[in-house]
Amino acid sequence: MLLGLLLAAPLALASEGYDLTFQGDASFAGAHGGQAVQAALVDADSGEVLETASGTVSAGDDPTFSFDFPGALSEGGRYEVHYWIDSNFGGGSEGSCDPMGTDHQWSVALDASGEAVTHVESHDPGAQSEVCATFE
């Protein structure tokens, strides 16, 4: 009986998945310090939103934002992180994802390699992609 319990433990640990930490570096501070940021972990194959997180872009810390998705990645899985910042440049509505020219938004592809992943993004307004539908 004891042997069965010892053998079951490693299998349970292996099925729990790997952690993802998704961060924005200091380059976000100048343009977006103090603004709300929302992120979603998405299964790239199905389009299913697996988890969401929200916070505020720091004007002085590095990283300027950091989201943890514990145990969310499965080895060999394909994922995307969709995120947007409620910048309201030239208009828009506070608290809602507006078009790219108004709110900055991105999609980042990630592959799970069988270990914890820390991904750090830099602010790149030229690499935006429409992600508002993820947050509806």
Instruction: For residue range 27-63, list pLDDT tens digits in order.
Output: 999 999 999 999 999 999 999 999 999 999 999 999 9
Domains of the chain in sequence order: 17-135 (2.60.40.10)
Q: Is the bond leading into 70 cis (omega within 30 degrees of zero)? A: no
pTM, two decimals, is 0.87
Name which of 84, 38, 32, 82 is nearest 60 in CA terms.
32
- The amino acid at residue 111 is D
Q: 90: which residues sit within 8 A by CB, 6+ positions away?
A: 101, 102
User: What DSSP letter does each residue of 42-96 carry, written as one string?
Assistant: EETTT--EEEEEEEE--SS-SSSEEEEEEEEE-TT-EEEEEEEE---TTS--TTS
**pLDDT tens readout for residues 89-132:** 999 999 999 999 899 999 999 988 889 999 999 999 999 999 99
φ/ψ of residue 39, rounded to 5: -135, 150
Beta-bridge mates of residue 63: none
